[in-house]
A and B are shown apart, each in its own frame.
Chain A
């Protein structure tokens, strides 16, 4: 009998083995390039715990912040964000000028920048990089759809011609999709994919680091780019997947990781008790708000007074406490604090039940019943939805919670199939355009940005004008005017700006938080 049992076990093992032996013939000998053992900790190694595996990391394809944390240090851009500010400074370009009509941008490149294979970064590489991105035609290409032509005048001069004046253009170049890719990527082209398959798990940039190893589901390792103009302190940087927050906390405590990215706000206070770690806290540009469907939802929402009543009904301070443990700042106007264009004097709705009830009465809206759409994408949305439901109940508005899968929620938001919906927004470039024009211009209905399906011709006009002026003062004035109108029209309930919270080992120095580079690190300036 025992023999039979072992036969059974062996049979199971064999089938298991056979089914696991996929593409056995591709087997590679071990230890070819990597040494058997390399230090995983120490002064010249940084280990960051992340919660999820990155998708593709091709800068011309990905729109995902978690992929950007790998690409940002591996590539360089024409201009870079300056330290912790939303303004830009020279990067690959040492200087640039804009023509009077704002349509021609001429960049002069710094010499001496090299890709990780030693090739020099020149104007032709810049041109080809943007052309590749536009040809691929995925998410990032939308941002650069304003470009009509790129010309490499000489090895150090590149000229962009725009279809129209677009002042935020310079900020878009500092974002991740402005990363300049080595033109040799085309050597890796398969079936006309412009190297997308290759670059999904590789880097070909001139940044201080390059991707050295990607162990699926376990970690990604960045090594120094030996040709980079800057020599960072860390020789290796690991992005290690530790999906469970409690495990991250334990590993931070034991010094096995230096930065823990995935500890949710309800567990963050425990981090403060860890002796060798500290909690970084900075206001971020990530904002939480509720879309109030002004044209396609419940008919009552077309009435401005009803929308204002909703904005008065929310107990903001309690909500921030309940949902973010107090780690948030109540919004004042749609442009968040920390971004230029923010208005300290803008009107702010405060919790006022009686006023809300009075407004509803004036509007003649009684027995209002609204659907609140949200998904499981953010862990705190459940609490947030429940808090809003109970707040609105106090003014006699019934809220039906409608929780759906993330992808489904996006589809419904795009089509306007909701009354109220929870949302989060972060700007792609450091310009008030990233809030005002996306949120309120009626040409951006749906997921594109105007998720409240809000239309006001006067606002449209002001926003479109602001988007084509080069004078920052004039633009600011226009945005301020538009802001006053949209706050009064209340197509969104503006909740709060989330705080950026990062548990980091006390030994790590030099990290600078830039609100435009959420979840990215200035690795080259950091040390232990």
Chain B
């Protein structure tokens, strides 16, 4: 197991190298000139050249890449062309919000998705199975921009139970910065006002964001459970008089979870990288909107910083997935 972790971490170096190289090349072959975006439309050639020089865009690609890699090794992801701030500072400002939303959405998806999948498999072809199917088809087929608006309209517009925008009320000071995750920070610092407000704010976007993932997890758990329930060891267990929740959770679910974990891992990754629409609708100050704005502005350093962060995130998630296999199934040895 130790070996596996070391191997994976070693692999990370290649991933970082590959991802930076590809994203660097891609972002530099797109027609479009970031210097142009920066100087405004009416600048003359001289000003333009000056800015290109400042950004190092007049250097050969290879040299630019070398400079960029040197920066990364010293923890410098470059300066954002749009915000004129170090990319690492920008990501630091936006990443915790995205992370927090993804984690809460992920917890919803797991806590509701897995039991629902088990229920659907156990009560196959019953009312519960159909209901769960309709519920999850709804999840995968409802576009987030629609479900998000409907939820805002109901819970903010009519009922006024939840706020529609942001992470915290504007008149509440954020909790002491420890992790950047407001819920965790306010718990750690005992700031109950901030805790209440951040829970209040995160609920609606997390529900909307989790719905699609929840559906996928439910379908996956149901399918694997049905397959496992057909297996001989289960029949043996039943023949030995084991039945009910004990059978499902102790014997069947454990094996059914292995394919599910893969889906879950990918789904967490997509929660991190793909929350743009949810973030936009709920005015959630995460990375999604930052990156979309950066792309429109051809802000290479910001785009590459984000890509790198997500790539590293995926490697870590995959590592966790593999470790989880190991925990669930001792036959798999790293």
Contacts and interface: CB of A to CB of B under 8 A. Distances in A.
Given A16-B103, A56-B84, A448 B43 contact: yes
24 contacts: A1-B253, A27-B177, A30-B173, A30-B174, A37-B171, A56-B85, A63-B40, A63-B41, A216-B93, A216-B94, A216-B285, A238-B170, A240-B165, A243-B281, A244-B281, A247-B152, A247-B164, A247-B281, A251-B165, A406-B296, A408-B30, A408-B32, A411-B32, A448-B41
B59 to A, nearest CB: 18
A27 B41 contact: no
Given A1-B250, A216-B90, A411-B32, 18 more contacts: A1-B254, A8-B324, A9-B110, A20-B181, A27-B176, A36-B193, A38-B171, A53-B290, A63-B39, A143-B42, A215-B174, A216-B94, A217-B94, A243-B283, A250-B164, A251-B164, A407-B298, A448-B43
Interface string A35-65: 1111110000000000011011010010100
A119 B83 CA distance: 28
A100 interface: no
Contacts of A140: 40
A485 B285 CA distance: 51
Interface string A439-468: 000000001110000000000000000000
B36 A411 contact: yes
Nearest to A143: B42
Contact of A53 (B160, B176, B293): B293
Contacts of B36: 407, 410-411, 414, 447
B12 interface: no
Nearest to A64: B40
Contacts of A81: none
Contacts of A200: 83-85
Interface of B: 30-34, 36-44, 47, 50-51, 79, 82-85, 88, 90-97, 99-100, 102-103, 106-107, 110, 149, 152-153, 156-157, 160, 164-181, 184, 189, 191, 193, 249-250, 253-254, 268, 280-286, 289-290, 293, 295-298, 313, 316, 320, 323-324, 327-328
A305 B140 CA distance: 55
Interface in A275-299: none
Contacts of A408: 30-32
A139 B39 contact: yes
B43 A142 contact: yes
Nearest to A177: B40
A142 B42 CA distance: 8
Nearest to B160: A254
A19 B99 contact: yes
Contact of B327 (A8, A9, A21, A218): A8
Nearest to B153: A250
Contacts of A412: 31
Ranked 5 nearest A-B pairs via Cβ: A217-B285, A63-B40, A407-B32, A139-B40, A56-B84
B230 to A, nearest CB: 20
A156 interface: no
A137 B83 contact: no
B74 to A, nearest CB: 14
A58 B38 CA distance: 12
Contact of B32 (A53, A218, A250, A410): A410
A218 B324 contact: no
A461 to B, nearest CB: 21
Interface in A130-157: 137-143, 145
Contacts of A2: 249
Contacts of B328: 4
A322 B94 CA distance: 38
Contact of B99 (A16, A141, A143): A16
Contacts of B39: 63, 138-139, 142
Contacts of A16: 99, 102-103, 181
Contact of A15 (B153, B160, B174, B316): B316
